[in-house]
Amino acid sequence: MNPLRWIMSILEADTQADRVVPPTGHTVRLTLFSAAAMAFLAVFAMALSMATGRLAVRWGDELARSSTIRISAPEAQMTAQTEAALRVLSTTPGIKSARALTDEEQQALLAPWFGNGVALDALPVPQLIEVVEEGDGYDANGLRLRLQAEVPGATLDDHSQWRKPLIRAAISLRRLGTLSLLLIGGTMAAMITLAATAALAANAQVIRVLRLVGATDVYIASAFVRRFTLRALLGGVIGTVIGMVAVFLLPSAQTEGGFLTGLGFQGWQWVWPLAIPPLGAVVAYFATRAAAMRTLRGLR
């Protein structure tokens, strides 16, 4: 069936068909609540998935393009070794730029541990050189060998040691978010199946009468399916709106950093949660239809 026609057939009120099933019952509240709760959780799972996705991209793209060279040498040789290292770097293919960090920048890096205004002169602090790559990057092993030969106090850190596990962790978290979304969808389908089965059992006499007067299974099922689909859609809208507001109101951790930085949606990503209610309705449609057809097949 054409998807648009299918959606219209669900949304169009078939008042006659809908009226054959009694309008009240605890399954109404159960379905609404389940759909709203699942949609609310789905918004958070989606926010987690997107935040970790952004984290992985940031760590992958930004940090992979930079490296650090640490010069640990006696104070008298520090300047000479730094200049030697910069010379080596300037002749290494794949390096866009290299510069030694200023004292102020190194102080800023140490500030979280030692506070502001730390006197670098009083501490055996190595000189750091920031290296920015270009193109396909440089040959890390070749550069290490050259530095070993020409700048004995230099150590190359291409961030790979700690970047890779972080990216792996971010990707795992993203998978976890996606898995959570699937579990939420499955749980919602299970809950709606239970509610639909209960509704069908409670309306056994209605079904008997309908079959007696010549109603087909599809007709009987559709009366239940439409009702549950619309309830799931309404519950989904309620849960999604509440979830989006809650995500929007999450405290920002931009300055403090850490994992919570940017948990939520950014820019066009706010559109994604809007897909949750219709997806919930689709889940409800198929879950109710399967439950209804299974129950009806049990009757002659």
Q: Which residues bind other proteins (CB under 8 A)?
A: 16-17, 19-20, 22-23, 205-206, 208-219, 296-297, 300
Which CB atom, from 112 or from 298, has the smaller least distance to other proteins?
298
C-alpha 296, offset from chain centre = 40
Q: Which is nearer to other proteins, 122 or 213 (CB)?
A: 213
CA distances in angstroms from 214 to 204, 207, 268, 298, listed in the order given: 15, 11, 51, 17
- Rounded CA separation 53/265 (Å): 11
237 vs 58, 195, 259, 263, CA distance in Å?
A: 32, 19, 29, 22
Q: How far is the CB of 300 from other proteins (least distance, A)?
A: 6
CA distance linking residue 189 with residue 194, whole number of Å: 9
Distance CA 260, CA 242 (A): 20
User: Smallest distance from the beta carbon of 290 to other proteins, in angstroms?
Assistant: 16
Nearer to other proteins, 5 or 297 (CB): 297
The CB-of-46 to other proteins minimum distance in angstroms stands at 40
Minimum separation from the CB atom of position 9 to other proteins (A): 14
**17 or 279: whose CB is closer to other proteins?**
17
> 19 or 168: whose CB is closer to other proteins?
19
| Best CA proximity match to 227, nearest among 292, 163, 172 | 292
Q: Closest approach of Cβ 212 to other proteins, in Å? A: 6
What DSSP element (H or E) covers 278? helix 276-297
Q: Rounded to an integer, what distance in angstroms lies between the CA atom of residue 103 and that of residue 126?
A: 11
